Amino acid sequence: MARMTNRAAVDVMWGVMLLMQMMGLIRSFNFGIGGVDGLRMDYYFMSCPFAEQIVWNSVTSALQSDPTLAAGLLRMHFHDCFIQGCDGSVLLDSTKDNTAEKDSPANLSLRGYEVIDDAKEQIEEQCPGVVSCADILAMAARDAVFWAGGPRYEIPKGRKDGARSRIEDTINLPSPTFNASELIRMFGQHGFSAQEMVALSGGHTLGVARCSSFKQRLSNSDPTLDSSFAKTLSKTCSAGDNAEQPFDATRNTFDGAYYYGLVNKVGVLTSDQTLFASARTKGIVNGYAMNQAMFFFDFQQAMLKMSLLDVKEGSAGQVRLNCRKIN
């Protein structure tokens, strides 16, 4: 736990990295993935060297007060990247002329916008007009995973913010009622393998699901659902559609408990349990349930890949001064 909450240790880590960069021991990393060769690990090294530290401090402060926000920040990044790419579009507020992504039924349960706002406000004081909201969100999700006990992964920076955010686009988010074949198809459209899809699904080791997302499993006799757990879910839903059920037994800790739950038929959503029910993904789930280190490694790689989805560079986007509205 000390690793997750000791800000001084992280300050030292960043200090060492900055010193190594100054000494030339860490080179700039260019990424030629999907046309994102403008992104670099040290993108803000000269223009806003304390950007990452500010994001970390904002995330740490928020999660110390409310650990459940880790799940919110991770999910927000995922919902951003799957719609129009990782361009901060999920952060935009609706206007009188447009209903934005965040007001879609699929996004009404997203949380953590104030964390992004806090980091953005502090960064704007230090480096006006330099750091994009898309990058802040990507860094915040990464830091939330680490704070909750998950792996530390690095991501290149340099994303620009998009100007489009429309409710109708959220139809392209995976549904909680999808089966494994549908998930494989949808993630495949974004370039992910079945293994990467199962690894990314492990983000459900954090957070909760609302009854409205799983109650359809209770009206039918679902052979993939443990009968005792079905009673637990029914009891949760007795409090209404907005009642919350943790995805696994350690809702605020990033670990392999999610996969262990699937093996024991206590996955909350259809889209969770289907990963163990399907022959195409069952072996992957078993592997992650038995080997958390393997899950962590694959999750790191998949999150890096996701953070590069359809990013906007140069004149294709902007750096918003306020993450909630376009400039």
Catalytic residues: 79
Q: Which of 80, 84, 87, 86 is nearest to 106 (CA)?
A: 80
What are the angstrom distances between the C-alpha of 39 and each of 158, 230, 261, 308? 5, 46, 37, 9
If phi > 0 it is left, if psi is from -120 to 50 it is alpha, else beta; for residue 60 that is alpha
Q: Which of 139, 149, 148, 137 is nearest to 70 (CA)?
A: 148
Distance of CA 224 to the CA centre of its chain: 27
- Largest Cα separation within the chain, whole Å, is 63
For residues 80 and 302, give the distance between their C-alpha atoms in angstroms, rounded to a whole number: 15
What DSSP state is assigned to residue 309? T
Distance of CA 230 to the CA centre of its chain: 28
- DSSP string for residues in 246-280: ESSS-TTS-SSHHHHHHHTT--SSHHHHHHHHSTT
As given in the structure block, the two tokens for residue 142 are 């990464």
As given in the structure block, the two tokens for residue 188 are 């495949």
Tokens 């100007």 correspond to 163
